[in-house]
Each structure stands twice: as C-alpha cells, then as structure tokens.
Amino acid sequence: MVRRILALLLAVCVVAAVFAGCTPGTEQSTGSESSSSKAPESSSQSSLSEDSKDDEPDEGPFTLSIYCADFVSMEYPMTLETPNIVAIAQIFRDEYNVQLALEPVIAEKMEELVNVRIAGGDELPDIITYGFSQERLVELYNNGIIIRLNDLIAENAPDVQQKMIKDNPYMTMLNSDSDGNVLKVPSYQGNIQHQLQTIDINYTWLKELGLELPETTDALFEALKAFRDNDANGNGVKDEVLFPYYESMNTALSGAFGVAKMGGASNSWWVDGDGKVYNTMLTDKARAYVEFVAKMYAEGLIDPEFLNASGETRNERLYNDKVAGTSGNWWMGAVNTLTMQGQGKEIEYVPLGPLTGPNGDKNVVLANLGGSGGSVITKDCEHPELAMKIFNYGYTQDGYDMYYYGRTATVPNEYYDISDEIPEGLPLKESYYVYTEYGSEQLSGELGIDLWNKLGYNLNILPYYNRLSDARIAMECEITGMPDWCDIMNHWQYYYEKLTDVTNSSGTPDLVFASPTNEQISAFADYNDLMLFIDESIQNFMIGAVSMDKWDDFVAQCEAMDIAGAAAIMQARYDSADAMLAKFS
C-alpha cells in the first residue's frame, strides 16, 4: 500500500482538515483582485531569452508567493514554521535563490476564495496551487490571468519536460488548451493501484470456512453464499452481504463478462474495431453482467440498500461485522481492515484483483491519470523561470521524497530511514523508506496522523510527481503499518502477483476523450434524461424490479431516445483527443 494512503490508514478514516484565519509565518488570504487584461507574451508566456538569462541579476533571494489550500488540521495549520516547510524553504533558498512566501487558505473555502482573488484588482500571487479544470484554465489564460508554460518547461524544468510532456502526453493534454499551450503543472501520483477498481472480500471469514480467495465470478458467488449460509459473523441472522458501490462494482466486475468498460451511463463509452464510439451498457455482454448481479441480489448476497445507502449506513454495517466485501479502489481492503481494528475487531479485508468470468474473460479498465491539483504561474510573477525551477524540484525523486516523507538521501530526519533490505524474491533494486524505531513508536501512538500534520509531511503546496513500480507498491505492504495479525495485508507476495497480473495482462488503459467544448457540454445536456434512464434501468434490472426479459425493450427505448446522437458527441471528443495527443507526442 503506497505511503500516500498511509496517512489515511494510520488514522483509520479519512481526515478532512480545515484551517481558518492567518497564522504565524503566513499571510492571511483576502479577496484581492487582479487585472483581466491579457499579459504580454514577452513578460509572461515564455521563458527568458538567452540574452535576458545572461543579464539575470545575481542578487536575491527572490521571493515567490504561493496561494494554496491548507489540508492540515486546525491544531497544526501549515506555516513557514512547520518543520518540513522550514527544510524545503532552505533547499529552495540554497539551490534556487528563492524565498518562499506562503499564503494558505482554508481548504474547503479554496474554490470560493481563489475565484474572489482572481476577480479582484490587486496584484496576484506568483503561484496559485489549485486544481483548476481544463475549461477554467483556458478561460484564465484567455483573460491574461495565467501564463503559458511551454518554453519555461523546456528551458528550466527537465524533469517536468520528461515526465509530463514526453512520457505522458495525456497528462499534458488535460492541463493545456487545444492549441497546445501548457497552462498548469499538475501533481501526479501515477501508481497502478490508483487506476484500479476491484472487489475486496472478508478474508477472515474465508479462512474460518476453509475457503480460498476467489479468482472467478463463480467462486465469488459461492463464497458470498457460504458466508450467508454458515452465519460467518455468528449473530444468528443471514446478514453477511456484499456492500458495493454501483459504479465501482460495474468497473470491477463487468470486464469478467467481456464488457470493455462500464461505470455509470455517462462514462460507459468505448470504440469498436472501426473506431466507432458506442455505449457499453446496451450490449449483450453488459446484459450478461447485469444478470449476474441480479442473481446475487436475488439470493440476498448484496445489501438491499447498496444503491442509495448513506455513509452512516455503510459504517453501521461494517462496524457490526455484516460486510462480506465492498467495491472501490485497490486499497479499500486496507481501509476496511484498519477501520475494523479501530473497532477492536481483527477482521482482514483483501482486494481480489480482476476476476475471470464464465467465458474466460478477465479484464479491468485502468483509469487515465492526468494528475490532480497542481500549480499555475500568474501574470504578476516577476520571476517565472524560478517558479518553474521549483516546480521541477517536485518532479525529482528527491523533491517528492522531501514533500512526502520530510527527508531525502541527503536530508535526514528522526522518523524515517533508508533501507536496502529487500525480501528475497522481490525484484526491487532501489532503496526505500522505513520507519525508524522512534518514528514507528510515534506514528502508532496517540498522535497518529496528527504527527504527520504537525511535521508537515504529505505536502500539497507545489506540484509533485511519483510513480512507483509494482514491486515497490508490494514492498510498501511489507514495511508499513499493516496489523501484525493480518495474513495478506502485511506481505508483499499477494500484492505483487495481483498487480503484475493487471500490469501485464488483465488491465486495459481507458480511452482518452478530449474535454468537451462549451457547445458539446450544452448538446450533451440534452441527453441527461437518457443517461438517467439508462442508469435507473440497469439498477432496476439488478434489484429485480424489472425482469431481464425486458432487456431488448430497454435497448430499443434508448435507441428511440437517440443514444446515437449522444454517441456522436463522444465520437467528436474521441477524434479530437486523437488529434491533440498526436500534437503533444
């Protein structure tokens, strides 16, 4: 399990932190305004010319102000006195002649406050770290609020150039306009388990009943049935059920029935051998998958409230030991395991990976990762070349390690150390981080996740890039925070086998669709009723409210509601993405 999820696991549940007001070492966020006139090319849209670089002044350090969201706890707000930020600021000062000026704002107010700030008339900060949508990026660029980054990247950011533009043109496309102007450097956590949706299962119950981990949909069905019939939770009631989420269940299981991709109606699009876009939910293979879910539901193996359950309902089922499994991200099994441990119950949940279906199909679609968050450079930045250099730092391994762990190979701390002790059989050559004895005690003690917040680990103030190998991800399970009593959650072999299977054979990269134009957004809105009809119909088939005998009528109704017109819009986006990717490649 990757360390970015460790913060989540150590806390047992997701911590949503807020930060109010100003704090020592920071500037208070205000609704200051900026000009809406387009910035001139010479000062903001390209890096320095060769002559200007020769004339670059030697004095400094030069201050760069960063407007960003604080996702840390109210008890430990992010400031320039936060230990890890102190260390990073020193690196920037020593290596890039840059003095940081942080302007953090309450995370859940960031969208509102950043829009107020941009709309105003005062000078903007040099850098804004926020996950602007592609449409919003283009709008800000056309209004002269932010600058293009192409030349800045080429001349000042070799790691960004390699990883964002050369290695991952899709990532570039999502952070650029249709003319190829790169407008944002995103943060990127590109490990395969971030791309994967799967079913996790109650492994403790499997062991107690002498059952193996399911590798087929039939075996999953039989395991769920055994849980129910053998009263796996021992409460005398047949209430041991799978409690999936609709879209992630579709993504995790439909590939076992040959469906190319299936989530919700509005994102279940694929292309045939001729490159023609179609909606996968209306296919015969989708029908076979829906019949399987309907069979599980009819047998009482799926929670009857799975389509509309609240978070409180899901927690109640989990806490009371009624959940046979769930669906979701690869690490959901670890989350559920640690959650149950927090309830004083030693129940282990394990992700299954892609299952094989009745006809031998085995596939899961891997989400495209274009990065999240990230930073833009505003028109008022006087030293955009320095801003890009510190962007590049986060795209180096040392930079990522410093942001996330608070140390690098040359910058130590007392909580982490570097180890080369690789378990026999694991094809991993690079070193990795392990807790020191002191760090292990602190991170498992009363402070837990608050210690991460206090120290300033897992930073989101500037772009970063990280992509671990399957072996490294498996290794994380061996060395990080999994309960000692787990059979699988704290061993690398299972994870490595499953993830390499996805990498090598059963994982299919998702299609790339260009972000919709305003016209396409408006046109597709006319099909909202159709998308809703498809999802409601699929769900009604699943819960037996409508007989599967009505499937052909359902497809015919979708055709009458002009599914072809919706597909034509997606076809245009697909074709546009091809053209854009060719440009970036």
Instruction: Give the containing element (helix H, strand E) for 222.
Output: helix 217-229
pLDDT at 286 (0 to 100): 98
| pLDDT of amino acid 58 | 61
Confidence at 60, pLDDT banded by 50, 70, 90 = confident
For 367, the 3-state DSSP assignment is: coil
Spans of all domains in the chain: 3-192+371-405, 197-366+484-509, 518-584
What integer pLDDT is reported at residue 372 of this predicted model? 86
Question: What was the pLDDT predicted at 327?
Answer: 97
Window from 100-104, 280-284, 288-292 with minimum mean pLDDT = 100-104
Which amino acid is it at 229? D
Alpha-carbon distances of 205 from 113, 223, 243, 249, 543, rounded to whole Å: 49, 9, 15, 21, 26
pLDDT at position 298 over 50 = yes
Cβ atoms of 450 and 442 closer than 8 Å? no
Cβ atoms of residues 324 and 333 within 8 Å: no
Q: How far apart are CA 153 and CA 7, in angstroms?
A: 32
* Total-model pTM: 0.81
| Displacement of CA 327 from its chain's centroid (Å) | 16
CB–CB of 79/85 below 8 Å?
yes
Q: Residue 14: helix, strand or coil by DSSP?
A: coil
Q: What is the pLDDT of residue 581?
A: 87
Residue 50 predicted with pLDDT over 60:
no
Q: How many Å apart are CA 462 and CA 129, to the nearest integer? A: 6
Q: What would the pLDDT profile of 107-118 be if each residue is shown by its tens digit?
A: 888 989 999 989
Q: Give the CATH number of domain 3-192+371-405; options: 3.40.190.10, 3.40.1360.10, 3.30.70.20, 1.10.10.10.
A: 3.40.190.10
Q: Give 236's DSSP letter.
A: S
pLDDT band at 30 (very low <50, low <70, confident <90, very high): very low
Bridge partners (DSSP) listed for residue 105: 69
Tell me the C-alpha distance between 534 and 558, whole Å: 7
CB 466 within 8 A of CB 190: yes
Q: How much of the chain, in percent, has pLDDT values that exceed 90?
A: 62
Which class is 197-366+484-509 in CATH?
alpha beta
Pick from 389, 376, 465: nearest CA to 183: 376
On the question of a common fold for 3-192+371-405 and 197-366+484-509, the answer reads yes
Cβ atoms 142, 38 nearer than 8 A: yes
Place of tokens 């900026």: 34
Mean pLDDT, range 267-285, rounded to an integer: 97
Alpha carbon distance 220, 222 (integer Å): 5
How far apart are the C-alpha atoms of 288 and 281, rounded to whole Å? Answer: 11
Residue whose C-alpha is closest to residue 241's, from 167, 317, 179 = 317
- The residue type of 221 is F
Q: How far apart are CA 458 and CA 5, in angstroms?
A: 10
Residue 43 has pLDDT above 70, yes or no: no
